Amino acid sequence: MKLGYFPGCTLKTNAKNFEDSAMQVMDILGQPLEEMENWICCGTVFSMTTDDLMLQLSSIRNLLRAENQGYDELVTLCSMCYNTLKRAKEFILNDEENLRKVNDFMYKEDSKFKGTTDVVHLLSILKDRITFDEIKNKVTKPLKDLKIGAYYGCLLVRPKELAIDDFEDPVIMEELVDTLGGEGVVFPYRLECCGAYQTVTEKDVTIKRTYEIINSARNAGCEALITSCPLCAFNL
């Protein structure tokens, strides 16, 4: 099975450290990530505000290019890219008329979109392919019982059809923390929205949301927070 890596915009700019660390880890685990060629912005979740077909084209163009490059699966680190690409694929493939139209729009591409490349998040690769047991054997500097809260936010577990774990009670990140020698802490606000792009126009809303999240984590005994979403990390 050939895995392609879709970085997205933020992991090449403000969250470059996220990409760098993930690439190094995957090399150590014997599953190096091969970046796909000619990728463009996933379109972000703005493209999901309506069911307008045109707003899906950025995501579908990426998936078509991944197909043409021979990738069976496209791996993302960013939860926003994962959600956007996955939802766009389902939106197109579940309607034959949408599929026909999107291929008409992308007439300059080398082939027609078929939807043969799946979209997966790196966390799923770590758990299901590499396995946490294998990762545990590779740990050289354990986290030494550091109490870490896993903040999922919206995009890894909603909508439930796309969730990488139980959409109401996910534990995949807490299990990873435990694997690395820390203590994964479950706290009440770990699935709540951070405020997302409201930080641009309604900053008070985002401040209120992030305060509630951080306060919830602190009250649960968390000493640190982790997240897979660069925007969530920025807001928090």
| 211 φ/ψ angles, rounded to the nearest 5 degrees | -60, -45
Over the chain (236 residues), what is each successive 10-residue block's mean pLDDT? 94 95 96 96 70 82 96 97 95 92 86 96 98 97 96 95 97 98 98 90 93 98 97 94
* Reported pTM: 0.93
Query: What pLDDT is attached to residue 10?
Result: 94
Query: Nearest to residue 150, comparing CAs of 116, 176, 124?
Result: 176
Query: What pLDDT is attached to residue 16?
Result: 95
What domains are there in the chain, each with its CATH number? 3-123 (1.20.1050.140), 140-235 (no CATH)
Supply 229's token pair.
Answer: 């979403």
d(CA 142, CA 162): 31
Query: What pLDDT is attached to residue 200?
Result: 84
CA atoms within 13 A on the CB side of 42: 28
